[in-house]
Amino acid sequence: MDPLTWTGLLGPVLNPVLLAALAVLVLAALASILLSFLPAPDPVTGGGGTLAMCRSPADWARLAVQAAMGVIIAIAAIYLVGGWVIPGVENKGIIGALSARLLPVWAALAVTFAVSITYKRRLGLYGKLFDNMIGMIGFGIVMFWIFTALFAGLFDWIVTHDPLTAVSGMKNKVPGTPLRGAGEGDYPYYLLGGDTLARDIFSRMVQGAWVVIRVAPLATLFAFMAGITLGLPAGYFGGRLDTGLSFLANLILAFPVILLFYLLVTPEMVASGIPSYMAIVLFILPILFLCVMINARFHTQPARRNTLIAAILLVLGWLYLSLINDGGTPVAFLPAQLDLFDIPGGILVVFVSVVFVNAPTVFRIVRGLTLDIQTRDYVAAAQTRGEGPWYIMLWEILPNARGPLIVDFCLRIGYTTILLGTLGFFGLGLPSDSPDWGTTINQGRKLLSIYPHPAIVPAVALLSLVLGLNLLADGLREESLKD
């Protein structure tokens, strides 16, 4: 079999148009910048003595930029759609074949956007996001990687080869190389080439998304639960409690982040069991948070309160015990029959490290918001009604701080993604054969000047996810300021 081309059957027709559009885009963008320094033309007097503005050369250059961008986007869409309808992998090309493998992702994105836009007026801040173009773009990028991770990690619908299996003769092969010795049920190509250990780069990229999506959002959520649980009382009560918690937070923040991560994930630290003991403390905070929230809301309805708290303790308590139980460490107490899941030790250590590092920053944000919001009139009204301190903190102050917290949550997932990539790049925490993007970049950088694709593919994936999270945070910030 011959290697795949990037654009398949559509290339000879559309590639010249695409190159021409790119040339027009570059020239028009340069012309727009240069012509913007010229003075604007004077208005022209029209019929009836009205003034009409005429287009300047800079305006025409900007129109040319928009037209070229429209042509490029249209051609890119044709390449993607062509992968769905053109038969045969050889005819699809690399881009079309990738689009065909990602068809479940495109379908899920289409359904998500259709439903969200249809009911956006009923969805609060999330619905308002679809009135903001930047937020929509960021949301689309983030959801693309979420769906990719789910379909690759849970259903195995996207991957073309085992991301951990090396194939003889495929070391550092370029994108579109036919698979040597492909059997009847094997996918016949390495769509994005092979890495330094002859593994499929495309499969490792999508499986790496599964690693990132499992760790980054959940670790950030746990960090927020810990920061909120401690930040609300620190800001509301003040005094010695505030002083002590603020001192501990500042003490942790005084360490450089990378150095703190390095100390937490070293083999010696893991062998000591300290990360497991940290997990015992950090992972119980969400349960305490929910129990206190339910008690504050339903303290006048004891039967309902006790039922809800019992359900939380039963379900989340079992999950908590399964989460912190780690065989082969000092924290191993559950029998195998009661342990719901087994988290690999490397992922658990990274998870705990992310929570521990991010929680102090969230604590300071929540504390500052609490100090500000507790001076508002509706808080004074709640105090006048005789509401308890925890009810005021959780049901008056916290809901009114949701805007900044949601924005920071999106940004912090991006920071966590970068930190995970950094840890993988330095070979810390996760296993050496893990398909996470940081590890893959580190393995590909050794021959970067000769074979750039093993490192470029996961680097672009990491860049796009962080960019999407930042755009999503910008959109949410703009919409939350309108409330």
Is residue 82 within 8 A of residue 96, CB to CB? The reply is: yes
Is residue 265 within 8 A of residue 428, CB to CB? The reply is: yes
**Same domain assignment for residues 276 and 405:** yes
Domain count, the chain: 2
Q: Which amino acid is at 96?
A: G
- Give the tens place of pLDDT for each residue, 58-70: 778 888 999 999 9
The CATH number that applies at residue 434 is 1.10.3720
Answer yes or no: is 19 within a domain: yes
Predicted confidence (pLDDT) at residue 51 exceeds the cutoff of 50: no
Structural domain for 3, as ranges? 1-34+61-101
Of residues 248 and 263, more confidence is placed in 248
Residue 344: per-residue pLDDT: 61
**Same domain assignment for residues 261 and 403:** yes
Residue 47: per-residue pLDDT: 53
- Give the tens place of pLDDT for each residue, 125-176: 788 888 888 889 999 999 999 999 999 888 888 888 888 888 888 888 888 8
Answer yes or no: is 482 within a domain: no
Is residue 205 within 8 A of residue 101, CB to CB? The reply is: no
Tokens of 93: 């090309």
Answer yes or no: is 20 within a domain: yes
Q: Which of 78, 101, 124 is the last residue of a domain?
A: 101
168 burial type by CB count under 10 A (0-12 exposed, 13-18 middle, 19+ buried): exposed
Contacts of 460-464 with CB under 8 Å at 24 or more apart are: 461/145, 461/205, 461/208, 461/209, 461/437, 462/417, 462/418, 462/421, 462/437, 462/438, 464/141, 464/145
Tokens of 232: 């609300």
In this prediction, residues 289-300 reach a mean pLDDT of: 86
Q: Which of 72, 101, 130 is the last residue of a domain?
A: 101
Residue 214: per-residue pLDDT: 82
Distance in angstroms (rounded) separating the CA atoms of residues 357 and 282: 11
Distance in angstroms (rounded) separating the CA atoms of residues 296 and 394: 8
**Same domain assignment for residues 328 and 456:** yes
Answer yes or no: is 410 within a domain: yes
Q: Which amino acid is at 372?
A: D
Residue 148: per-residue pLDDT: 93
Predicted confidence (pLDDT) at residue 44 exceeds the cutoff of 60: no
Answer yes or no: is 171 within a domain: no
Answer yes or no: is 374 within a domain: yes
> 383-399 burial, b for 16+ CB within 10 Å, e for fewer?
eeeebeebbbbbebbbe
Predicted confidence (pLDDT) at residue 180 exceeds the cutoff of 70: yes
Answer yes or no: is 73 within a domain: yes
**Same domain assignment for residues 232 and 381:** yes
**Same domain assignment for residues 218 and 80:** no
Answer yes or no: is 364 within a domain: yes
In this prediction, residues 352-372 reach a mean pLDDT of: 88
What is the pTM assigned to this prediction? Answer: 0.84
